[in-house]
């Protein structure tokens, strides 16, 4: 493990810092980290509400601090399964649901909430939506994604008519109450409360897990290690439009350390209680502590045969009769005496824990998802195997103050100084390759966690591990930022090629589903190396090209009302792929031009997208003679038959639309007034496409084509394409071993960062519009690729609104939006 970066607050008065305040942290599948701090609202000293801070891990300085309205200390933060909504709960029983305002990661608002007045919340969770994916390490060598990542049969916590999962959340209070809030389809909130058992008692710690049958299991303890850890089954149903909660007591357990004569009174308090995974209620982790240390135990619920009294053993068995069984908690493993534990983080990667998977993971040294993290009050951090609890890795503290073996100076520093710098909240990323921790000074630390836990691996094995996790992110839609933390520049080319090979082995339907996602992954990888930066440009251009082509085809309507076998867009693609004619007008003859009829205003509003397609074709053809330079942007398209075919189709559509509305045609600056620019470009494009068709062996462009492309700059003015959006994320600077030092609220000085005062022309990358040097309109940027677009639409036509609606929630690459601050 090693630190990737540390982000801290500006210097603040000592009085605003209270080390006793508990901190919480939560990491979403969309790469957002929410955490609390001991900071108060310094803008209004009378406002005592707690603050929630939300960051995107690639732009940690751009923190959005929410004035939460929680008067008491925030005890829980929980993201939903989509990573777009956040729950917060406090010590007064208030629960708030936070959503993005205008779909921006740095703008949040509380849309709804529930309350248990005077009941501090100790556990909080969203109801399960029934989606569970298992990751099979033993199938990592398979060519089928369906064998590597399988959908597990899992029922939602509550379903609507038709089996649709109902949204909502569940919370457990300190007095043993369980409250369920359901979000009805009409937007209203339905809340119900019930006691976990008839005799309510104090619940100091609790955790929530889900079963495959749709039930909920709650683990609870009063905080005393000599008391039993109780488990309850919670069933939520809807009866007559009312929420009903039924609870049932399950087998309980006593920690083993309380039965040990030596440790009976050594660890009086249970400080941490967690299920190993939220979808497995049969394995639980317990930590008992004292002021001097801690001990951790892992327990498993097993079905055992119930022994029969000797009187009944001689009775002849009935046909089909089975031996009675009972569920019983058995201890799996326990640690030796440890330093005092300050925080626990459990892996989120759904790795299968069958014996086969564990053996393969051990043989291949694939460790993600196998280890849990413990941080200690001396500043150190350990990764332990989630079942055996043996040590897999050690990190010597956020401040380097933990005592390494044989380091006496660290011990002296701890004696002379105050409390050691240690983590108070800790969270794994969704692939378990990174850890986010908040220390007792409020600093946010980002740690890399090696896929092999520091074991020496050959390059092929390392690439195979990273490829496996990239495929997992591609299939699930989770963000892959934490995987990029471990990609060195020399690995980029191999990973891109291997990812493409695996993608091409999938069936056609799955390829269509993952078409844009794999291009986005390739673009993110290529940005990590200067040698592949040009390919990143090509992948971003391909994302825009695919989006424009899809939008143009969606505007086409069949001429008759009867549903045809194929849509107009599909027929266009089929005809253009079979017709090898280089004359654009002859290709048009075979099309039903009435299907391309659109009104004038929609066509005119699409002109900037049409212009981008025309400029892009001209740029590619003009740079064909320079194809020997692989670092030049556009090189990847010269051998990409599918993309060249897509451009041919759009050129044909644009030509037909130009007959209806000449003003929508792309504008070229030609040296001759009689030059038919589109006719010329289509002819050259078709000849280039014939050299790289998917259904024919690739050929080198003939000399005649290259010569004609050499003459293009003398016939038409070749535009300069704004290829790659500026990205100021930290991921491109984290390949080194030295951690970055950042500050919340202070933009990191990075060459080319988003700064409107540099005298550079700004571009709306989605609308293909120039915004000028000092744009007056509010803009937003993608957290992943840096793509910039105006926050509010200047267009009124339905055609352009249809285009813009595609990018309300996400960018072309799938990244989230964040508002660009005004200078």
Q: Give the pair of three-digit tokens for residue 767.
A: 């609308």
Q: What is the pLDDT of residue 580?
A: 87
pLDDT of residue 415 exceeding 80, the answer is no
d(CA 773, CA 775): 6
Report the pLDDT averaged over residues 674-702.
87
**Cβ-based burial of 110 (10 A; exposed 0-12, middle 13-18, buried ≥19):** middle
Q: What is the pLDDT of residue 9?
A: 83
Give the confidence band of 754 by pLDDT, cuts at 50, 70, 90.
very low
**Cβ-based burial of 241 (10 A; exposed 0-12, middle 13-18, buried ≥19):** exposed
Q: What is the pLDDT of residue 352?
A: 74
HEC per residue, 518-546 = HHHHHHHHHCCCHHHHHHHHHHHHHHHHH
Picking from 24, 32, 153, the residue whose alpha carbon sits closest to that of residue 83 is 32
Cα 474 to the center of its chain, rounded Å: 10
Q: What is the pLDDT of residues 762-804, one digit of tens each?
A: 888 898 888 888 888 889 999 998 899 998 888 878 888 888 8
Cα 787 to the center of its chain, rounded Å: 18
Give the chain's mean pLDDT.
Answer: 85
Count of CB atoms within 10 A of residue 307's CB? 10
Report the pLDDT averaged over residues 414-433.
79
Report the pLDDT averaged over residues 540-562.
85
Whole-angstrom CA distances from 592 to 550, 566, 567, 583, 659 are 19, 13, 12, 17, 14
* Residues contacting 555, CB < 8 A, separation 6+: 598, 602, 799, 802
Give the confidence band of 14 by pLDDT, cuts at 50, 70, 90.
very low
Q: What is the pLDDT of residue 406?
A: 47
Q: Give the pair of three-digit tokens for residue 661.
A: 């509305």
> Which residue would you say has higher pLDDT here, 528 or 557?
528
pLDDT of residue 402 exceeding 70, the answer is no
Q: What is the pLDDT of residue 127?
A: 95
pLDDT of residue 401 exceeding 70, the answer is no
Q: What is the pLDDT of residues 187-217, one digit of tens each?
A: 889 999 999 988 888 999 999 999 999 999 9
Task: Look at 89-98, 191-200, 481-490, 618-627 and tell me which has the smallest mean pLDDT.
Answer: 618-627
Give the confidence band of 409 by pLDDT, cuts at 50, 70, 90.
very low
Give the confidence band of 324 by pLDDT, cuts at 50, 70, 90.
confident
Task: Look at 18-22, 98-102, 123-127, 617-621 and tell me which has the smallest mean pLDDT.
Answer: 18-22
The answer to whether the beta carbons of residues 62 and 106 sit under 8 Å apart is yes
The answer to whether the beta carbons of residues 352 and 324 sit under 8 Å apart is no
Q: What is the pLDDT of residue 762?
A: 83
Whole-angstrom CA distances from 279 to 304, 343, 414, 502, 575 are 22, 21, 41, 29, 50
Q: What is the pLDDT of residue 321?
A: 65
* Residues contacting 704, CB < 8 A, separation 6+: none
Count of CB atoms within 10 A of residue 312's CB? 7
Residue 817 phi/psi, 5-degree rounding, is -100, 145
Secondary structure percentages of the chain, helix, strand, coil, to 5: 30, 30, 45
How far is it between the farthest Cα atoms of the chain?
A: 109
pLDDT of residue 16 exceeding 50, the answer is no
d(CA 117, CA 121): 10
Q: What is the pLDDT of residues 264-277, one digit of tens each?
A: 788 999 999 999 99
Picking from 30, 40, 22, the residue whose alpha carbon sits closest to that of residue 77 is 22
End-to-end Cα, the chain, rounded Å: 38
Task: Look at 145-159, 335-349, 642-656, 684-698 and tell me which has the smallest mean pLDDT.
Answer: 684-698
Count of CB atoms within 10 A of residue 49's CB? 17
Give the confidence band of 405 by pLDDT, cuts at 50, 70, 90.
very low
d(CA 68, CA 74): 9
pLDDT of residue 643 exceeding 70, the answer is yes
Q: What is the pLDDT of residue 416?
A: 41
Q: What is the pLDDT of residue 166?
A: 92
Q: What is the pLDDT of residue 684?
A: 93
Query: What is the helix (H) or strand (E) element at residue 99, kind and residue range?
Result: strand 94-100
Q: What is the pLDDT of residue 600?
A: 63
Q: What is the pLDDT of residue 158?
A: 92
Instruction: Report strand pairing: 2-8 vs 740-743.
Output: parallel
pLDDT of residue 591 exceeding 60, the answer is yes
Q: What is the pLDDT of residue 515?
A: 93
Q: What is the pLDDT of residue 785?
A: 87
d(CA 291, CA 340): 7
Provide, rounded to the nearest whole percent, the portion of the chain with pLDDT above 90. Answer: 47
pLDDT of residue 417 exceeding 70, the answer is no
pLDDT of residue 749 exceeding 60, the answer is no
Instruction: Report strand pairing: 205-210 vs 423-428.
Output: unpaired
pLDDT of residue 241 exceeding 80, the answer is yes
Residue 317 phi/psi, 5-degree rounding, is -70, 150
Picking from 733, 770, 760, the residue whose alpha carbon sits closest to that of residue 749 is 733
Give the confidence band of 433 by pLDDT, cuts at 50, 70, 90.
very high
Provide, rounded to the nearest whole percent, the portion of the chain with pLDDT above 70. Answer: 89
pLDDT of residue 823 exceeding 70, the answer is no
The answer to whether the beta carbons of residues 29 and 83 sit under 8 Å apart is yes
Picking from 177, 100, 39, 18, the residue whose alpha carbon sits closest to that of residue 817 is 100
Does the CA dihedral 362-373-3-753 come out positive or negative?
Answer: positive
pLDDT of residue 399 exceeding 80, the answer is no
Q: What is the pLDDT of residue 753?
A: 44
d(CA 587, CA 823): 51
Query: What is the helix (H) or strand (E) element at residue 192, kind and residue range?
Result: strand 189-195
Task: Look at 409-423, 456-470, 694-708 and tell me which has the smallest mean pLDDT.
Answer: 409-423
Q: What is the pLDDT of residue 318?
A: 63
Q: What is the pLDDT of residues 40-81, one digit of tens each?
A: 554 555 455 788 999 999 999 989 998 888 889 999 999 999
Specify the residue for token string 């326990």: 334
Ramachandran assignment for 759, one of left (phi > 0), alpha (psi -120 to 50 degrees), beta (any other): left
What pTM was estimated for this model as a whole?
0.90
Query: What is the helix (H) or strand (E) element at residue 2, kind and residue range?
Result: strand 2-8
Q: What is the pLDDT of residue 255?
A: 92
């Amino acid at each position: 493990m090693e630190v990737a970066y540390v982000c801290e607050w500006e210097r603040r008065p000592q009085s605003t810092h209270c080390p006793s305040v508990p901190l919480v942290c939560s990491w979403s599948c969309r790469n957002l980290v929410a955490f609390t701090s001991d900071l108060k609202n310094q803008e209004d000293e009378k406002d005592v509400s707690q603050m929630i801070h939300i960051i995107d891990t690639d732009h940690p300085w751009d923190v959005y601090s929410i004035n939460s309205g929680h008067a008491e200390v925030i005890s829980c933060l929980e993201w939903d399964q989509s990573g777009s909504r956040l729950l917060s709960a406090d010590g007064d029983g208030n629960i708030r649901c936070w959503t993005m305002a205008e779909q921006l990661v740095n703008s949040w608002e509380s849309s709804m909430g529930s309350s248990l007045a005077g009941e501090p919340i100790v556990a909080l969770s969203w109801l399960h939506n029934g989606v569970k994916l298992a990751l099979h390490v033993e199938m990592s060598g398979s060519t089928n994604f369906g064998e590597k990542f399988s959908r597990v049969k899992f029922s939602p916590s509550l379903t609507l008519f038709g089996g649709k999962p109902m949204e909502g959340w569940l919370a457990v209070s300190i007095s043993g109450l369980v409250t369920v809030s359901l979000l009805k389809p009409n937007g209203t909130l339905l809340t119900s409360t019930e006691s976990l058992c008839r005799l309510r008692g104090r619940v100091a710690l609790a955790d929530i897990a889900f079963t495959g049958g749709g039930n909920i299991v709650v683990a609870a303890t009063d905080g005393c290690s000599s008391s039993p850890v109780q488990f309850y089954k919670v069933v939520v149903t809807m009866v007559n439009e009312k929420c009903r909660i039924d609870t049932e007591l399950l087998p309980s357990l006593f920690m083993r350390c309380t039965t040990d004569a030596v440790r009976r009174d050594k660890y009086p308090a249970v400080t941490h209680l967690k299920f190993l995974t939220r979808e497995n209620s049969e394995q639980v982790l317990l930590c008992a502590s004292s002021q001097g240390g801690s001990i951790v135990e892992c327990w498993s619920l097993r079905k055992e045969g119930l022994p029969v009294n000797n009187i009944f053993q001689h009775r002849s068995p009935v046909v089909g009769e089975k031996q009675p069984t009972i569920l019983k908690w058995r201890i799996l493993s326990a640690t030796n005496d440890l330093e005092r534990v300050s925080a626990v983080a459990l892996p989120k990667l759904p790795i299968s824990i069958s014996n086969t998977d564990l053996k393969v993971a051990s043989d291949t040294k694939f460790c993600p998802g196998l280890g849990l993290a413990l941080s200690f009050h001396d500043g150190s951090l350990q990764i332990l195997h989630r079942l055996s609890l043996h040590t897999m890795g050690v990190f010597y503290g956020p401040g380097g103050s933990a005592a390494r073996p044989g380091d006496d100076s660290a011990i002296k520093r701890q004696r002379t100084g105050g409390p050691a710098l240690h983590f108070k909240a800790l969270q794994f990323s969704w692939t378990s390759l990174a850890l986010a921790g908040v220390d007792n000074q409020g600093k946010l630390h980002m740690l890399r966690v090696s896929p092999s836990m520091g074991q020496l691996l050959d390059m092929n094995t390392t690439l195979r591990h990273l490829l496996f996790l990239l495929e997992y992110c591609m299939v699930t839609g989770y963000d892959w930022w934490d995987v990029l933390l471990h990609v060195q520049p020399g690995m980029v080319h191999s990973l891109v090629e291997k990812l493409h090979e695996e993608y091409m082995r999938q069936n056609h339907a799955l390829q269509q589903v993952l078409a844009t996602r794999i291009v986005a992954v390739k673009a993110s990888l290529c940005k990590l190396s200067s040698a592949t930066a040009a390919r990143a440009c090509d992948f971003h251009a391909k994302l825009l090209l695919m989006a424009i082509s899809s939008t143009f085809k969606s505007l086409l309507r069949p001429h008759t009302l009867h549903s045809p076998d194929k849509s107009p867009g599909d027929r266009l693609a089929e005809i253009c792929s079979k017709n090898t004619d280089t004359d654009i007008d002859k290709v048009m003859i075979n099309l039903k031009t009435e299907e391309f009829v659109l009104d004038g205003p929609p066509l005119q509003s699409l002109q900037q997208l049409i212009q981008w397609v025309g400029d892009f074709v001209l740029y590619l053809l003009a740079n064909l003679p320079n194809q020997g330079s692989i670092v030049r942007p556009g090189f990847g398209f010269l051998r990409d038959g599918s993309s060249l075919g897509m451009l041919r189709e759009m050129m044909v559509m644009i030509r037909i639309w130009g007959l209806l509305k000449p003003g929508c045609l792309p504008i070229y600056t030609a040296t001759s007034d009689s030059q038919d620019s589109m006719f010329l470009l289509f002819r050259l494009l078709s000849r280039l496409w014939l050299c790289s068709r998917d259904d024919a062996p690739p050929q080198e462009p003939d000399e005649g084509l290259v010569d004609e492309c050499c003459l293009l700059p003398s016939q038409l003015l070749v535009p300069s394409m704004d290829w790659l959006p500026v990205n100021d994320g930290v991921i491109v600077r984290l390949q080194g071993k030295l951690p970055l030092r950042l500050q919340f609220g202070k933009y990191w000085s990075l060459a080319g960062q988003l700064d409107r005062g540099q005298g550079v022309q700004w571009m709306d990358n989605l609308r293909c519009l120039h915004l000028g040097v000092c744009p007056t309109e509010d803009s937003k940027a993608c957290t992943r690729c840096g793509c910039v677009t105006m926050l509010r639409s200047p267009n009124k036509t339905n055609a352009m609104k249809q285009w813009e609606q595609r990018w309300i929630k996400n960018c072309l690459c799938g990244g989230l939006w964040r508002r660009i601050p005004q200078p």
